[in-house]
Amino acid sequence: MKKWYSIATIIVITVMMLGIAAAPRPAHAVEPIVIKVGYTTAMSGPAAAWGQTERLFFESFVEVFNKKGFKVGDQTYNFKMVVVDNKNSPEGGAAAAKQLVYGDKVKFIIGLWTWNFPSIAAVTNPAKVILMTRTGNEAVPGIYDPKKMPYVVFGNPSEEEFISDCLALVEAFPKYKKLGILECTLGKGPGWDYVLAALDKAGVRYHMEFFPPGTQDFTPYITRYAEAGCDIVFVAGWVGEAMAFAKQRWEMGYKDMKVGHTGPLITPLAYIGVCGKEAAQGLIAEYCAPWDFKKTKVKSKYIKMCREAMKMASEKQGRPYTYTGGIGWFPSHLLILAQAMEKAGTVDDTDAIMEAIRGGTFSTTAGTWTMSGAKTYGSPVVFGTPGALSTIKGDKEVYLAEYPMEPLP
């Protein structure tokens, strides 16, 4: 009897062990695969204030994005931002692109807003690296040849955004006399012909001036604007110069002359510190806060992500992070890239990803955009931030007006 008990016990144990061995394995959490994304910007030199300020938010946004990541098939992916200074110069741009492409082995460089697109594209394009960048004087219709740069994606078109800003200004101040436009001679180029033609077409009254780089004394220019009858002066970029202009026009007695600039406020307190509280009141800037947009629709989940990233950035820097300027750039580009990868079903075949971008519809932190394909600078791009403006009231930044970015042909 004992013998049969032993045999039965052995059989039961064997069956149990076989059962355990054959049972499905407990699901292990699959680690997301990390994809490196290059970000090159001005981290040194006169434009570095923007580069340094934005970096904090972008890194925070990537952290927020990575909480869920995105999926291609069953695999979850995360992004890792690789930052390289390009000094906002052509040679710096080329060096940064080489570092990212050949050193860090990135296949995507996004969020580019500095003025060195040609030198960066010259490195990324032959390497089949996708570059998402702004437009500018380097990339106006007729100059940029899309056939030579199939891996360049133009977003945030500088000229169109400036035009939208001007139209938003006119909407905010319908009784304006004349709009003054101020730009540095460094920004002179064919892009301005395009902008001014559009303003002419829209019936905007304007007077334009250029100033030499390094100008701190704007008294002669303020006098010229006053004599030309301008009651609003809008500075193309150039935060320090806009601050100096606002301060000096106040001191000269032109207190009714409104002053603004493209590019968002870094923080209202910086303007108050330079201009003085009275002179800073009413100062206008771009405002890329999707939670306040009235005419541009942004998905609530992206608004939530932006706010979470701003909160995170505030905690990192130990004081409130209020700069909204980056929201329509790197995060938009990141979302387009992730969605294009999902559509293409690949994270490393840049030809397939470009194919998905062309003609695709993408939801971003600056609205939803359908890439028209062939005619936008020859690039499949029609996205950008709206011409939304804010103004300084007390020591706060408040919404002023908005002119949506219209899809380009």
Partner 1 sequence: MPPAGIWIDGLIQSCIYMTMAFGMVLVFSILGILNWTHGQFYMLGAFVVYYAFTAVGIPFPIAMLISGVVVGGLGILVEKFIIERVNVPSAQGALYVTVATMALIFFFEGAASMLFGMQEKGLAMVFPGVLDLGSFSVSYQKIAVVAFTLVIMIAMYIMLNRTKVGLAIRAAAQEPDAAGLYGISVKRISLLVMGIGCALAAMAGSIMAPVYAVNPFIGRIPMIMSLLAIIIGGLGSLTGAIVGGIILGFVNSVVAYRLSYFSEVVLFAFVIIILLVRPQGLFGDPLK
Q: Which residues bind partner 1 (CB under 8 A)?
A: 44, 46, 48-49, 52-53, 185, 209-212, 214-217, 219-221, 223-224, 239-240, 243-244, 247, 250-253, 266, 270, 272-277, 279
Minimum Å gap between C-beta 48 and partner 1 is 4
* 235 and 204 Cβ atoms separated by less than 8 Å: no
As a whole number of angstroms, the longest Cα–Cα distance in the chain is 118
Minimum Å gap between C-beta 207 and partner 1 is 11
Q: Which is nearer to partner 1, 52 or 125 (CB)?
A: 52
* Chain centroid to CA 167: 21
| Residue 147 exposed, middle or buried by CB count within 10 Å (0-12, 13-18, 19+) | exposed
Minimum Å gap between C-beta 160 and partner 1 is 25
Minimum Å gap between C-beta 203 and partner 1 is 25
Minimum Å gap between C-beta 224 and partner 1 is 7
Q: Which is nearer to partner 1, 326 or 367 (CB)?
A: 326
Between vectors from CA 299 to CA 296 and to CA 300, what angle results, nearest 5°?
115
Minimum Å gap between C-beta 85 and partner 1 is 11
Q: Which is nearer to partner 1, 221 or 377 (CB)?
A: 221
Q: Which is nearer to partner 1, 1 or 216 (CB)?
A: 216
Minimum Å gap between C-beta 191 and partner 1 is 17
Q: Which is nearer to partner 1, 235 or 279 (CB)?
A: 279
* 85 and 91 Cβ atoms separated by less than 8 Å: no
* Residue in 257, 258, 210, 256 with CA at minimum distance from that of residue 237: 210
Minimum Å gap between C-beta 196 and partner 1 is 16
Token pair belonging to 81: 């931002």
Q: Which is nearer to partner 1, 144 or 225 (CB)?
A: 225
Minimum Å gap between C-beta 288 and partner 1 is 19
Q: Which is nearer to partner 1, 162 or 211 (CB)?
A: 211
Q: Which is nearer to partner 1, 5 or 216 (CB)?
A: 216
Minimum Å gap between C-beta 396 and partner 1 is 18
Pairing of strands 387-393, 284-286: antiparallel
Residue 285 CB contacts under 8 Å (≥ 6 apart), including other chains = 260, 261, 262, 263, 264, 265, 389, 390, 391, 397
Q: Which is nearer to partner 1, 250 or 321 (CB)?
A: 250
* Residue in 175, 132, 173 with CA at minimum distance from that of residue 154: 132
Distance, CA of 54 to CA of 327 (rounded, Å): 9
Distance, CA of 388 to CA of 168 (rounded, Å): 7
Give residue 178's identity as a one-letter amino acid code: K
* 375 and 171 Cβ atoms separated by less than 8 Å: no
Q: Which is nearer to partner 1, 239 or 336 (CB)?
A: 239
Distance, CA of 61 to CA of 281 (rounded, Å): 31
Q: Which helix (H) or strand (E) holds 286?
A: strand 284-286
Distance, CA of 169 to CA of 175 (rounded, Å): 11
Order of strands, sheet of 258-264, starting from the edge strand that comes earlier in the sequence: 206-211, 179-184, 232-235, 258-264, 284-286, 387-393, 396-403
